[in-house]
Amino acid sequence: MKKIFLLALLVTPLYALAAEESSAAIPEQAAAQDPAERNKMLYSLGFLLGDNLKNQLVLDNEDDYKALSQGMRDSLLHKKSQTDLEKYKPQIIQKYQQDAQTISAKREAAQQEYLENFQKEKGVKMLDNGAMIKLSRPGKGKNPKADSTVTVHYTGTLIDGTKFDSSRDRNTPFQTRLTDVVPCWTKAVQHMKPGARAQVVCPPATAYGSRPVGPIPPNSVLLFDIELVEIAD
């Protein structure tokens, strides 16, 4: 059971990536068999595994990296483990738990710093639910109501710049009732007029809270670049 638990920690984000790309066209088999392309694909897989691990583990020095990579190499090459795996599984689980707390605290501090710095920027308006909006283009006409249907273009990122969604990338505007989106959007879009564009910053309580949603980790501050195209009603 513990082995399954550890494996799940390692590969879950890759399952999410596979699901995300499931509708994409599958490359021709000839390209997949090309040795240079295969090496690039496997390197990319290794990089993604490393990305996943660095978001879950605190590795303090070069010896940590060497020990971890040697264990992975021995396993992939079907070599016998140099340690008693059963003996160290409880310590491994404990490390995951402790590192998760450390990483979470560091991330929370970075997010709090971002919120405080953004609030100080010229033109930022704090809304009554804690969300913030900064207009870069004012727009014209009337503002939508809390239950209006609107059409928008948007890009959503985390504070580190990681993009998690974009109607612009799909080249398709997004239409929604403001009652059907996260509270941050419901409040912020009411402060926009057709043609307006704004930076909107959503603290976790105004977005998805402690729920992980796709590539969005729990308790994430979300940043949106929103353009209000039109108000449908």
Domain-wise residue ranges, the chain: 2-115, 123-231
Per-residue pLDDT of 188-233, as tens digits, reads 999 999 999 999 999 999 999 988 898 898 899 999 999 999 998 7
Q: Considering the domain delimited by 123-231, tell me its CATH architecture.
A: Roll (3.10)
Contact 178, 184 (CB under 8 A): no
Q: CA 97, CA 44: separation in Å to the nearest integer?
A: 27
Q: CA 197, CA 226: separation in Å to the nearest integer?
A: 6
Position 59 scores a pLDDT of 87
Banded model confidence at residue 4, pLDDT cuts 50, 70, 90: very low
Contacts for 229 with CB less than 8 Å, ≥ 6 apart = 150, 151, 152, 153, 173, 194, 195
103 has a pLDDT exceeding 50: yes
Contact 25, 56 (CB under 8 A): no
Amino acid at 28: E
Query: Residue 221 to residues 131, 135, 148, 224: CA-CA distances in angstroms?
Result: 10, 19, 25, 10
Q: What is the mean pLDDT of residues 77-102?
A: 93
Banded model confidence at residue 16, pLDDT cuts 50, 70, 90: low
Position 220 scores a pLDDT of 95
Q: CA 67, CA 133: separation in Å to the nearest integer?
A: 47
Of the two residues 86 and 11, the one the predictor is more confident about is 86
Q: What is the mean pLDDT of residues 147-168?
A: 95
**Rounded percentage of the chain residues whose pLDDT exceeds 90:** 67
Position 232 scores a pLDDT of 87
Q: What is the mean pLDDT of the chain?
A: 87
Per-residue pLDDT of 115-129, as tens digits, reads 999 999 999 999 999
The residue length of the chain stands at 233
Q: CA 80, CA 72: separation in Å to the nearest integer?
A: 12
- Indicate whether this model's pTM tops 0.85: no
Position 7 scores a pLDDT of 43
